[in-house]
Structure 1
């Protein structure tokens, strides 16, 4: 007779409950509170639907660019890889990235889908990592330029010790992560030393099962990544085209708040109240601050952190002249960049429906071998 398994409250369960609680709270707050979604829909004349649609189209254009970049990387070795396949990969990444903490679930599902298209896992992993590094480098460059050109505004956001720490820590983490990926990309010797250090830590503290196997897999993936990296730099045309495309992609993501700003007629309010009207460049710079600050929050969609960062940086543009549109502005921004993205990408999760079954078979096979 089989013994019943005892119910244990694990750290994962606690984390999931916290995530669920925050999600429910934010949903209630932005949907049913004053100036929330219900009030917004009941007053359709309070914002311009045209500019909201433009915001949706601009943000969805970033997914299209991501598809093109994926296609370029994969076709460098697999010529039969189609545009529709790359589109599926991009949407799967959007969906699983949005519903998992710190966007961690997107790449594994993308690799699984690519493997179903007979793309080698090692090569697919190298492509996705390369794409992420290009994106990380471009966003970091945008952040550095934003701090330089908008330093006075950036400095004005330091309203108290907590906001100061939040901003400085977010910017520092982005720089460190980018530097780390650059080291992994170009410094093979340092990378091997880092892997050896990771192995020593895993072996000493014994928090990972079969550390030798994990390290061997890591060595193989890094080796495959370095090979792909060398191939990329042997093709200047591929390198330049991917960086230019990702620049356009990042510009699309960063420009969304500007169209939300216009949709509420805030430029007219600013003129009437005698304050200066920010332009698209201003919003792109400021949104880059929001991006690197909110990325600190390890929750799906950076829930809570994204809203806080948006309020902290854009509050003065949506609250002026007796008009307060910050809450509906956050709501529309999140609808465009997060909830809307989940809705349009959710149907593509169908293409990964067999992953759990295959993972289960793989685990059973590993147990039999042991």
Structure 2
């Protein structure tokens, strides 16, 4: 299946999930009451919320720019921002955010950034991004039992599943990175087993692609070992980036003139939703995110403002992010690589380094 057909299918799937989500959320609800509640919000809080959404996207671009710099590749910050927007747009419209990084690699390649470099950078971004969710999930499970018992009793199976899936995903990535030889042997043995069971055909090019893929993990391991300070800095930036998006829900809470619930509780509840839905095969966690919000936020927003609160929170954190990144992706399509590709300077070549 070529890329254009795949994108069309992803958009159709997104539209179908969106339609079902709208139907499920608003079925049987008093739309007039919802509109009246929305008219009373303080708009400047929502403006700040949009700024934090853009800051969330910008945060990843700073990481990309910073990491490329550590590899002696000079890029413009505004170009990295476009890379980030492309990634978030395709992540928003594809199941499990699977389309974000391939699209970013494509646009980086248009600016003459080698695939080996972009893959390395984005792999580190993914590992740190997932690691923050793992930290949040384990922190709540181990140290915040009171919080869990107060707010999450109705969604504990989904929350625990999200924690387990994220831990499992991070563990696999870390094994691949820090034990590349072991991981390579396991993957090759698994491929041979699938061929032996006639699940896959014996194609030499498949084994070659697997070897090339494993080489990327080897390069990532080498980068981790040589750039520990960089990894610490990237993790700190990612932590701030993620919580900036969680803070949007608190701004929505304040936009309704509500008070009494701490910023910590509101942000951690939003973080719980991210932990629970991150690994599910739905674009942007659409549908399940709205359902979980309605299940765990009643103590915060109350019955009357729960649905309006969900609409504004998801509208800012996901749907505005989708629209903004879509617009910037259009800009990226016409700007990146045209008419003159941004020249990539490989200082490491003159220093005898290799990426």
Q: TM-score range by the shorter chain?
A: 0.7 to 0.9
Q: Is the 8 A contact 1:296 1:305 kept in 2?
A: no
Q: Equivalent of 1:318, from 301, 320, 345?
A: 301
Matched, 1:185 2:166: no
CA distance in 2: counterparts of 1:282 and 1:192, whole angstroms: 43
- Cα distance, 1:155 vs structure 2: 2.9
CA distance in 1: counterparts of 2:272 and 2:203, whole angstroms: 38
TM-score, with length taken from structure 1: 0.80
Question: Larger RCO: Structure 1 or Structure 2 (Cα < 8 Å, ≥ 6 residues apart)?
Answer: 2
Q: Is the 8 A contact 1:101 1:299 kept in 2?
A: yes
TM-score, with length taken from structure 2: 0.83
Q: Deviations over 1:99-157 (max 9, x none)?
A: 11111111110000000011111221111111100111122112222333431231345
Matched, 1:346 2:329: no
Q: Is the 8 A contact 1:35 1:327 kept in 2?
A: no
Any unmatched runs of 5+ in structure 1? 1-11, 268-276, 355-370
- Cα distance, 1:173 vs structure 2: 0.8
CA distance in 2: counterparts of 1:181 and 1:245, whole angstroms: 20
1:59/1:91 CA distance change after superposition, 3 Å: same
- Cα distance, 1:177 vs structure 2: 1.0
Which aligned runs of 4 or more in structure 1 are off by greater than 6 angstroms? Answer: 12-18
1:82: which partner in 2? 76
1:237/1:169 CA distance change after superposition, 3 Å: closer
CA distance in 2: counterparts of 1:166 and 1:72, whole angstroms: 36
1:35/1:326 CA distance change after superposition, 3 Å: farther
Q: Is the 8 A contact 1:255 1:284 kept in 2?
A: yes
CA distance in 2: counterparts of 1:113 and 1:213, whole angstroms: 25
1:199/1:148 CA distance change after superposition, 3 Å: same
1:177/1:325 CA distance change after superposition, 3 Å: same
CA distance in 2: counterparts of 1:112 and 1:143, whole angstroms: 33
- Cα distance, 1:45 vs structure 2: 4.4
Q: Is the 8 A contact 2:10 2:94 kept in 1?
A: no
Q: Deviations over 1:243-289 (max 9, x none)?
A: 1111111111222211111111221xxxxxxxxx2211222222221
CA distance in 2: counterparts of 1:126 and 1:96, whole angstroms: 19
Q: Equivalent of 1:308, from 291, 303, 316?
A: 291
1:35/1:146 CA distance change after superposition, 3 Å: farther
Q: Is the 8 A contact 2:108 2:118 kept in 1?
A: yes
Q: Is the 8 A contact 2:123 2:220 kept in 1?
A: no
1:127/1:211 CA distance change after superposition, 3 Å: farther
Q: What is the number of equivalent residue pairs in this alignment?
A: 329
2:116: which partner in 1? 122
1:44/1:19 CA distance change after superposition, 3 Å: closer
Q: Is the 8 A contact 2:34 2:307 kept in 1?
A: no
1:39/1:90 CA distance change after superposition, 3 Å: farther
Q: Equivalent of 1:49, from 26, 34, 43?
A: 43
Q: Is the 8 A contact 2:152 2:296 kept in 1?
A: no
Matched, 1:23 2:18: yes
Any unmatched runs of 5+ in structure 2? 1-6, 336-355
SS in 1 for 2:283: coil
- Cα distance, 1:169 vs structure 2: 1.3
1:164/1:183 CA distance change after superposition, 3 Å: same
Alignment of 1:126-275 (within 5 A): 126-157=120-151, 159=153, 163-208=155-200, 211-267=203-259
1:243/1:297 CA distance change after superposition, 3 Å: closer
SS in 1 for 2:211: helix
- Cα distance, 1:15 vs structure 2: 9.2
Q: Is the 8 A contact 1:30 1:331 kept in 2?
A: no
